[in-house]
Structure 1
Amino acid sequence: MTLTIEQRIAGAEKAWQEGRIIQGDWRRRDGGGGNDGRELVCALAAFGPDINASTDCPADLMPLWLAYLVPRIDDGIAFADVPWFMGELVARAKRWHKLDAAAWDRIRTAYLIMVIRQAVEWAEPVQPDPKPEYWGKVVDACNGVVEALEGKADLATARRAAADAAAAADAAARWAAARWAAADAADAADAAARWAAARWAAADAAAARWAAARWAAADAAAAARWAAARWAAARWAAADARWAAAAARWAAAAARWAAADARPKAYRTIAEKLFVLIDAELAA
């Protein structure tokens, strides 16, 4: 049986109302208390029994990049915030059918710009005072990628600046763990800018995987790299969509340098601002 979008949203709302939204798994059975046998589901799986991966999510329910992002936020926020997140998600899912592809593209671009700016904001407090030379390069590189996403600058130029900033910050990070947030942000900007066109696809996928393994290489701008997927060949669409979620993860990683509980709070901030961006398009 093929579910309608309305049925999917109703099912997700029911799972939310019954307190069945979980973290860290797509779906599982509740084995405790008086609720033995209840199906527990993650925020995305709640939209249908046939959704067991982001790629299973129907395109007319939400764009693929958002389908990748929803489980990332669900797993990243504090457990106490899960009901809040799911409730806000369902509330918007009931209304976002009115958004067209252009509106979703604006949301995606604005989201990626937001993630870059947040990553810089979260990385800055752990920088030494006075600020070292590499930090200025990181900030300039990230701003350059943002301008490129806004159509105000050349993406290739932004990529070169990001690469230079990554090299400078990485050299410092090797000697001072507290500066890794800056190095990660710069590496992210580099990976982000290079993914912008289809001709970079294969090389940048490897670079981004390497960056992710280095604790937040995506802090600031792997988001931008993913965002540029609109210039990529159609065959890269699914792979590109994954970088929306990766951008959130890496940006939140930047916040971990500030406090032990900073990452869940960072995910909450990302979710709140994502909802604001969706609301702005719904109100337009």
Structure 2
Amino acid sequence: MALQRRFLPPLSALTAFEAAARHGSFTAAARELNISQAAVSRRVQLLEEILKQRLFERIRQRVILTPGGAAYARELQDSLARIGMATVNTMAARTGQVSLNIATLPTFGTRWLIPRLPDFADRHPEITVNLPTRVENFDFTAEPLDAAIFFGDPIAPGAIVDRLIEEELVPVASRRLLTRHRIRKPEDLFKIPLLQQSTRPAAWADWFAALGIACPPVPLGPRYGQFAMILQAAVVGLGAAIVPRFLVERELQSRDLVIPFPHSIGSKQAYCLFYPEAKRNDPALRVFRDWLIAQAGAFRR
């Protein structure tokens, strides 16, 4: 432990570097931390001296992470997040409040879970739900997480899994785009860009195959990293998207998007709640789990 402390840089230098790495700017980091740009620069320089390597390349008015700086930033962001969670949990314990740290996919959290959380807060005001986001595998042994909501089967040895919502993928597009290109039958969709989600690269091909239509063996259209991005792209008319129906409720109700053809395809995988075996009987987690399963029940096919 003494050896670890010997290599622990000042927290002020770490937070300055993390903010600068996240923003790609000393000016933006200074604004966030409410200090001067010169102070950010000095703290980053101190960290570079401690590490004996450059963390940024300074190019004109921009700062770009070096490969070593990028690797250090990833490790540091996770560590600072854990410190933040530990602080929140300790403060909550002092007031008798219970905290749950539930990792979730960004789009699922923003579009489905958070709009429903006021109901949970009304029913259980004594439980605070923190929602760190994850897009890759999580590690219950390395992170202070009580549970995680993920799609599919992430690597989580020893975790208990509760299936929440299966995907029903449907095509959506703006009414204006469909009218302009005279989309009358499924094959007409080939006239417009077919937007793709990077984690579901075969979705369009599977949808057309379910209708007995061969999909062209060429890239269909732009690819996006998250459903939130692909939905916004569809709303502004960049193309048609194929998305989980439960994530597009808002746009369908507002008529920003429509489903041009009622055909849908399912998936063998689902959005699931994962939690460690050791948390099985945790009272707060059991309450959240039961509430979450009840909320998801309306979307099960």
Q: Please report the TM-score for the alignment, with normalisation by the length of structure 1.
A: 0.27
For the pair shown, which has the larger CA radius of gyration, 1 or 2? 2
Q: Where is the strand percentage greater, Structure 1 or Structure 2?
A: 2
